[in-house]
Amino acid sequence: MLGQKARRAVILSLVLIFFELFFGRVLELGMIRPDLFLIYIVFWSFVIDRRSAPLVALLLGFVRDVFSSGFFGAETFSYFAAACLISMLSLKVERTNILIQGATSFIFALFQFWIYALIVLLCSPSPEFPRNFFWLSFLHSLYTAFLAVWMIGALERCIYFRSSRAHLLA
């Protein structure tokens, strides 16, 4: 049997996947769209369980691969690689500080974006990138980080039903 916390985490993951896949367009600003999966992985790594974050990233990456038209497998691998980085980072930083959460989300998003591009470049027979790729990746990461600052706290309340972060310090 799953514990109450794990059950909530699973439900939250399903809701997030559903929202990201089907209603993600609502959050679009021009061509820029935040990556809710990335935010969720940072949240998972910082708040729930650092060690299982790569597994969550693997699953979410696979879901994204299935529902996208890019090079199959690139999302899975890039999420996984970035999650490994986050998992290591979360040991060394102050996880309760929202600025650090935002900065980590920014680095995570940028890293995942570039790894994805690198994989596509190496594996795809005809890789195509937008002309302003670096600028777009920067804006995408920035938007994701801004949203993460607000979202991680909200997700935490959903899991623990309280605003206190005492559990992290315990």
Partner 1 sequence: MRPKALVLFLVLAVLPLVISKVAVGFPETVRVFSYQTFKPVFQASDFFSDQCTGLFAQTKSFLFTYRQNKELQARLNELEIEVARLKEENKKIQRLGKFLPYLEQKSRSSLYAQIIFRSISFWEQTAVIDKGARHGVGKGMPVITPEGLVGKVGSAGNSSANVIFLTDASSRTSVLVQESRDIGLLCGEGKKLLRMSYIDLSATLKIGDTIVTSGMGGVYPKGIPVGKVEMVGKDPDGLHLYAQVKPFVAFSKLEEVLCWVKKPEGR
Helices 98-123, 133-160: crossing angle, 10 deg rounding? 130
Q: Is 45 in the site for partner 1 (CB under 8 A)?
A: no
Nearer to partner 1, 66 or 98 (CB): 66
- Segment interacting with partner 1, rule: CB under 8 A, options 35-43, 52-60, 135-143, 148-156: 52-60
Residues 75-134 that bind partner 1 (CB under 8 A): 76-77, 80-81, 87, 119, 123
Q: Is 65 in the site for partner 1 (CB under 8 A)?
A: yes
Q: Is 72 in the site for partner 1 (CB under 8 A)?
A: yes
- Can you tell me which residue has the tokens 């899975």? 76
Q: What distance in Å separates the CA atoms of residue 155 and residue 149, rounded to the nearest whole number?
A: 11
CA–centroid distance for 113 within its chain: 11
Residue 101: Cβ-neighbour burial (10 angstroms; 0-12, 13-18, 19+)? buried
Nearest to 41 by CA among 5, 67, 12: 12
**Distance in Å, CB of 33 to partner 1, minimum:** 11
| Cβ-Cβ contacts under 8 Å for 132 (sequence gap 6 or more) | none
Which residue type does 142 have?
L
Look at the chain and count its residues: 170
- Give the total of residues touching partner 1 (CB under 8 A): 26
Nearer to partner 1, 2 or 26 (CB): 26
Residue 66 backbone dihedrals phi, psi, to 5 degrees: -65, -40
Nearer to partner 1, 58 or 158 (CB): 58
Q: Determine which residue in the list 6, 11, 67, 134 makes contact with partner 1, applying CB under 8 A.
A: 67
* Interacting residues with partner 1 (CB under 8 A): 21-23, 25-26, 51, 54-55, 58, 61-62, 65-67, 69, 71-74, 76-77, 80-81, 87, 119, 123
